[in-house]
């Protein structure tokens, strides 16, 4: 997508052919800084510290992390170590394990001397596949936006989204934002309500930044505002992303997604989840029971970083010293609250049969 007219992706192979460039998302929206990853450890730290984040981008970074590892040590032991280092970098987004499994399946059977080149080639494929998948999601989700636009000619279609499931969370296009960008390109009047998404504020810091730089009308709202807007007919549909969809259609996403789904259900607002197929975990039967929920540092709750009036970046504490805090990073929205799953293979019902019918090859792989 575009940053002030120039096309960017969130991650890429640098001109030297081996190191990896990525936008440092911890610095946005205040500074646009590109980080250079030169080792497997760099990739693992980038994922853990959220220099990169968002389920598909975590997977893409891990794939390049394996490639960087193969330059250093392409032995069987090196492959095992790289996998084990990267797979624990963050627990909830299944795209991380999916990408690492793909890389290992490519690399394990071949001669160590050929592994580095093969690893870069497979990582590049994973990255390109992400972009293609998101284009598919864009086209399938566009139909939903078009249908709403057709019912209110000349009026704006209002979409609510949570966290950042935009191009910064993927390689390009995003998942939840892909249909929005396409609708905007096609001249449909679309406006996005952007949940700020405490505690890390991915909505306020990242979604607002990318929509703004691409020229898509949007408004940042405090997290608790969605219910009010829905009660007053100010949201036509909600589209969110996800870090893992269970085989039964339960959807794990950024903390607070569940509350939005409840409010949408109560107000008859369609609640869609956009996802690439690598985000489906057919090994998990019941999302609420079995998806691991990451708990992050309490400082994300106690502290806020922002730009002061005189232009400095400053971190301040907003919670009394000594007050305990909890920081659950994700929650699970039960399938019954999900109107549909926007995938690269169409808009599906959030249930076991629909997911299995759309992605039979993934079921077969999960059974292996
Ligand atoms: C297309 S990204 C989908 C999800 O990964 C996204 O909605 C989300 O919850 C990101 O969480 P984050 O903690 O910023 O990695």
178 burial level (CB within 10 Å; 0-12, 13-18, 19+): buried
**Look-up: residue for tokens 């269970």?**
246
Best residue for ligand 1 mutational test, from 48, 92, 254 (most atoms within 8 Å of Cβ): 254
Residue 47: in which H helix or E strand, if any? helix 40-48
Q: CA–CA separation, 245 vs 255, rounded Å?
A: 15
Q: Which residues pair with 158 in a beta bridge?
A: 191
Binding-site entries for substrate: 53-55, 90, 202, 253-254
Calculate the CA dihedral of residues 260, 263, 267, 269 and round it to 10 degrees: 10
Q: What is the position in ligand 1's atom list of the atom closest to the CA of 90?
A: 15
Half-sphere exposure at residue 86, Cβ-oriented, CA atoms within 13 angstroms: 32
**Which atom of ligand 1 is found nearest the CA of 174?**
1
Please give the pLDDT value at position 3. 83
Which of 130, 243, 250, 331 is catalytic? The answer is 243
**Cα separation of 260 and 266, whole Å?**
10
To the query of whether residue 243 is one of the catalytic residues in this protein, the response is yes
Instruction: Name the residue among 276, 269, 271, 280 with its Cα closest to residue 333.
Output: 271
Q: Which residue ranges of the chain lie beneath pLDDT 70?
A: none
* pLDDT of amino acid 1: 83
- Residues in contact with ligand 1 by the CB-under-6-Å rule are 53-56, 93, 163, 165, 169-170, 175, 202, 241-243, 253-254, 329
The pLDDT of residue 368 is: 72
φ, ψ of residue 320 in degrees (nearest 5): -55, 140
Question: Which residue lies with its CA nearest to atom 10 of ligand 1?
Answer: 54
pLDDT of amino acid 365: 79
Helix, coil or strand: residue 135? helix
ipTM exceeding 0.90? yes
The predicted structure's pLDDT at residue 168:
98
* Ligand 1 centroid to residue 255 C-alpha, Å: 10
Protein residue with least CA distance to atom 9, ligand 1: 254
The bridge status of strand 313-317 relative to strand 6-7 is unpaired
**Residues whose CB falls within 8 Å of the CB of residue 238, separated by 6 or more in sequence, listed in order:** 159, 160, 161, 162, 226, 260, 261, 264, 269, 270, 271, 272
Q: What is the Å distance from ligand 1's center to 106 Cα?
A: 27
CA-wise closest residue to 134 among 235, 26, 59, 236:
59
Query: What does the pLDDT read at residue 330?
Result: 98
CA of 59 to the centre of ligand 1 (A): 12
Gyration radius of the chain over CA positions? 20
- Centre of ligand 1 from the C-alpha of residue 241, in Å: 7
Q: Show binding-site residues.
A: 53-55, 90, 202, 253-254
Instruction: Give bridge partners of residue 252 from the DSSP assignment.
Output: 244, 332
């Amino acid at each position: 997508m575009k940053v002030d007219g120039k096309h960017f992706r969130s991650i890429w192979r640098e001109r030297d052919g081996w190191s990896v460039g990525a936008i440092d998302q911890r610095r946005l929206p205040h500074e646009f800084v590109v980080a250079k990853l030169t080792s497997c450890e760099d990739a693992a730290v980038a994922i853990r510290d959220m220099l990169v984040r968002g389920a598909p981008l975590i997977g893409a970074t891990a794939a390049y992390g394996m490639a960087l590892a193969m330059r250093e040590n392409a032995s069987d032991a090196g492959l095992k170590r790289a996998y084990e280092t990267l797979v624990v970098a963050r627990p909830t987004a299944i795209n991380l394990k999916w990408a690492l499994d793909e890389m290992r399946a490519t690399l394990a059977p071949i001669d160590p001397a050929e592994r580095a080149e093969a690893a870069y080639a497979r990582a590049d494929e994973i990255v390109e596949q992400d972009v293609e998948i998101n284009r598919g999601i864009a086209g399938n989700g566009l139909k939903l936006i078009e249908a709403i636009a057709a019912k209110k000619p000349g009026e704006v279609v209002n979409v609510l989204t949570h966290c950042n499931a935009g191009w910064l969370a993927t390689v390009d296009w995003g998942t939840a934002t892909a249909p929005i960008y396409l609708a905007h390109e096609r001249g449909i009047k679309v406006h996005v309500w952007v949940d700020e998404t405490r505690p890390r504020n991915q909505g306020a810091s990242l979604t607002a930044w990318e929509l703004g730089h691409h020229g898509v009308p949007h408004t940042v709202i405090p997290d608790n505002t969605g219910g009010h807007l829905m009660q007053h007919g100010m949201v036509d549909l909600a589209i969110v992303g996800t870090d893992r969809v269970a085989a039964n259609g339960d959807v794990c996403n950024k903390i607070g997604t569940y509350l939005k789904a409840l409010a949408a259900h109560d107000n008859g607002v369609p609640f869609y989840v956009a996802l690439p197929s690598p985000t489906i975990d057919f090994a998990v039967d019941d999302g609420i029971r079995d998806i691991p929920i990451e708990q992050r540092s309490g400082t994300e709750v106690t502290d806020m970083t922002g730009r002061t009036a005189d232009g400095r970046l400053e971190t301040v504490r907003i919670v009394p010293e000594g007050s305990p805090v909890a920081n659950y990073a994700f929650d699970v929205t039960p399938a019954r609250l999900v109107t549909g799953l926007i995938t690269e293979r169409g808009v599906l019902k959030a249930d076991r049969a629909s997911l299995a019918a759309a992605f039979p090859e993934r079921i077969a792989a999960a059974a292996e």
